[in-house]
A and B are shown apart, each in its own frame.
Chain A
Amino acid sequence: MSTAKDKKTQTPRMLTLHCALQEWIDLADELDKQLAQLEDSPKVRNLFHRLLNRIKIDIQEGDAMVPDKDGSYRLFQPIKPVSLGTLLSFRSVARLHEERKHWTREMLVEEWNRSMERARAQAIADGRAIEHEWEAAIDD
């Protein structure tokens, strides 16, 4: 059992992760595909994506010049860690974009509308749907 003195003298543990980011995304992508085949897929995949959201990757893309109203530019440093899940999403979006690049705008709009309605139907079926839009901001 640790004492109060121990607590004062303990230094925080540092966990250092050494990995190749590309390899992480490859593995996450493969695991996500395999999870999609499982019977309990939605629940397991949701847990997996929650885990991915907790892993933040700090990507420094360099400085950007942002225009001001007076025509001058100011320096902006877009340095904010994003999650591994988001990086995985970018890859999925690129894949989806490649598959659908020959689609007409009407086909895309139709598919986007269908996906929104599928999500809504699922939320209603699972009892997660919200009655009023302000509920989306709860715990925000």
Chain B
Amino acid sequence: MTDSIRKRAVFDTNVFIAAYMARNAKSPTAELIRRWRNGEFDLLYCDGIIDEIREKFAEREVSTEYLVTLDMSS
């Protein structure tokens, strides 16, 4: 895939919640995270999105350390 046609995506916050909390380990959202991590596309985000993910993780009692392990700076 060349850079000019490389896919870019913005995830809704719920994608992260569903990927980390769904019983089904093969859920479509978990697959999306894996594909992003495998470098199949670039994920676009901003401080506001990270802030919202943090908020949702805290509301759902998902440890924020998992947000850190997403390491979006890479």
Do chains A and B interact in one complex?
yes
Instruction: Kindly list chain A residues whose C-beta atoms are within 8 Å of the C-beta of B51.
Output: 53, 80, 82-83, 86
Q: Is the CB of A93 within 8 A of B22?
A: no
| Chain A interface, number of residues (Cβ within 8 angstroms) | 48
Summarize A's interface: helix, strand, loop or mixed. helix
**Identity of the chain B residue whose Cβ is nearest the Cβ of A78 in the assembled complex:** B46
**Identity of the chain A residue whose Cβ is nearest the Cβ of B15 in the assembled complex:** A136
With contact pairs A50-B58, A89-B50, A113-B34 given, residues A130 and B74 touching in the complex (Cβ less than 8 Å): no
Q: Is the CB of B34 within 8 A of A130?
A: no
**Identity of the chain A residue whose Cβ is nearest the Cβ of B16 in the assembled complex:** A136
**Identity of the chain A residue whose Cβ is nearest the Cβ of B66 in the assembled complex:** A119
User: Which residues of A are at the interface with B, using a C-beta cutoff of 8 A?
Assistant: 42, 45-46, 49-50, 53, 59, 78, 80, 82-83, 85-86, 89-90, 92-94, 96-97, 100, 105, 108-109, 111-113, 115-120, 122-124, 126, 128-133, 135-137, 139-140
User: Which residues of B are at the interface with A, using a C-beta cutoff of 8 A?
Assistant: 13-15, 17-23, 25, 27-30, 33-34, 37-39, 46-48, 50-51, 54-55, 58-64, 66-74
